[in-house]
Structure 1
Amino acid sequence: MPEEEVHGIRVHLDRLLAERGMTLTELSAQVGITVVNLSILKNGRAKAIRFSTLSRICEALHCQPGDLITHDPPEPGAGTSPPDA
């Protein structure tokens, strides 16, 4: 099984939705993205996001990209295989 890439990007969609009293379903309807795809983003399983999608989410939540996404660098060596001896 391939090892999951450690990238340190954190998505704070759940916090922003709670702060605004909005559900994932309501956000989905406003931005035109499926609930499934928003859920993947919310749960940190997304591998990428289009700028157009990011822009629509920020417009709907009245936030900046930095409110939605932050970088928390992983510990050195986290998620990497040890070098061959």
Structure 2
Amino acid sequence: YSGDLKNGIRSGRGSYEWRSGQKYEGQWRDDERHGTGTETWPDGRKYFGEWKEDSFHGEGTYTWADGWIFRGTFDN
């Protein structure tokens, strides 16, 4: 993790990379992805949009590895 901390937990702007190569860059609140951010996977998938309590939530764009794209509203 590289980014802002509040009382020792992720809060504010930051990026995190899992051992698998999956990456998240964006906003955090109380150690969860929350706000606007981008997640990418090693196989080429990508999500950019709004997050709430560590889940896709709100307006966003999900792109599959084969190029298919969904733009719309996500609910957890």
Structure-2-length-normalised TM-score: 0.23
More strand by share: 2
Structure-1-length-normalised TM-score: 0.21
More helix by share: 1
